[in-house]
Amino acid sequence: MAMALEAQKTTALTGNEAAATALRQIEPDVVAAYPITPQTEIVQLFSTFVSDGLVKTEFAAVESEHSAMSATIGAAAAGARAMTATSSNGLAFMWEMLYIAAGLRIPIVMPVVNRALSAPINIHCDHSDTMGARDAGWIQIYSENAQEMYDNLIQAVRIAEHPEVLLPIMVTIDGFIISHGMENVELLQDQVVRDFVGEYHFPYPLLDIEHPKTIGPLTLQDFYFEHKREQAEAMQRSKAVITVIADDFARLSGRQYGFVECYKMKGAKYALVVLGSTAGTAKYVVDELRQEGEQCGLVKIRVFRPFPGPELCKALADIKAVGIMDRSDSFSTQGGPVFAETKAALYQASNQPKCVNYIYGLGGRDIEPSLIRQAFMEVKDLATSNAVGGGIRHLGVRE
């Protein structure tokens, strides 16, 4: 293991390049994809690897995302490790197949480069695409930066294919902000990744002539319910598996991941909850505020599905007020999805901090440190006054 740690190479890569590198090292048997900004580069780079003979993957440039996901499901069910990647409307166009992949318990791993959904048409980052798919039955892992995208993709293969899990996983990065921004990324050696992910064994592959089978037959009142309950139980079981794989990966890479990441939460009286690249900006603001003597901290959600309810309650156990940041709106009038679910989780907690929701960054609207500072100051106000929480605020929008 020490060998693996030493052999890591630091390279400057964009988020998309980091994702494509992970795909190359994972070397799936089949990749089927359709281009969409800002995901395009991942698949394009991958097709270059195919054409240069660096991977033995079958690459199919299909006619739409609906077909891309269908082909990926077909390949994975047939017994191949299969992947695709998408963004925004591409993910929306996969909708039908997302539910089918999860319902069939097909362990696909898919990078998603977050981009706003139409309409109005927009190519920049927000989380409306993956948040819209939050109840499709997929595990969702959000990455803060290129390094996390790389690390999460490699772990996702093991999590998805674990016999206790067998669920598809989407691993996200923020469009343009991370997908097209260049950072230092520590890369494991090809062979180390290959050994880590191992061989793909779908437990029920096709062409096992001793055991002919049908994948996805009709079930009605008789068995549909049991299938769905099993699916929910697999999602529940994935929590333990995600932890085990994170520990395995930490031994290999020196990088430890959890469901949530607490940043300077020790002694914090108020905090923000974020996911994605904004965590990076928020950490910078926390550092500044801490220097000024403020008692603030940050909780980053890495795994959104399964939702880390208990982990969040623990992280927020000593907090008086929390600002929960959403880069998408649910239009439920109850705030964004991160807000609604965090609040629901806190209902079970012994400490119930005051909560406020910040909807921010829609359609790629920049989230500057000054805006995050403003949010922190408002949350501090909530923590130190008699004001009641629960409101929904919009950060950085024109009135």
Ligand X SMILES: Cc1ncc(C[n+]2csc(CCOP(=O)(O)OP(=O)(O)O)c2C)c(N)n1
Here the tokens at position 1 are 């293991």
**What is the Cα 27 distance to its own chain's centre?**
20
Whole-angstrom distance, CA of residue 323 vs CA of residue 319 = 11
Interface mask toward ligand X for 89-118; x: CB under 6 A: xx--x-------------------------
Rank residues 65 and 261 by Cβ distance to ligand X and give the closer one. Answer: 65
Contact partner, 259, from ligand X, another protein, none, Cβ < 5-8 Å per class: none
Rank residues 67 and 328 by Cβ distance to ligand X and give the closer one. Answer: 67
Under the binding rule (CB under 6 A), the answer on residue 175 touching ligand X is no
Binding positions for another protein, 100-119, rule CB under 8 A: 118-119
Under the binding rule (CB under 6 A), the answer on residue 65 touching ligand X is yes
Whole-angstrom distance, CA of residue 304 vs CA of residue 338 = 8
List, as one string, the DSSP characters of 176-215.
TTTTS-EEEEEE--HHHHHHHH-----SS-TT-TTS---S
Task: Provide CB contacts within 8 A for 240, sequence distance 6+.
Answer: 164
Whole-angstrom distance, CA of residue 286 vs CA of residue 290 = 6
Number of residues near ligand X (by CB under 6 A): 7
* Segment contacting another protein by CB under 8 A, of 55-63, 94-102, 252-260, 285-293: 55-63
Under the binding rule (CB under 8 A), the answer on residue 51 touching another protein is yes
Rank residues 129 and 174 by Cβ distance to ligand X and give the closer one. Answer: 129
Q: Which of 93, 117, 198 is nearest to 363 (CA)?
A: 117
Whole-angstrom distance, CA of residue 281 vs CA of residue 328 = 18
Contact partner, 294, from ligand X, another protein, none, Cβ < 5-8 Å per class: none
Binding positions for ligand X, 11-40, rule CB under 6 A: 34-36
Contact partner, 2, from another protein, ligand X, none, Cβ < 5-8 Å per class: none
Binding region for ligand X (CB under 6 A): 34-36, 65, 89-90, 93
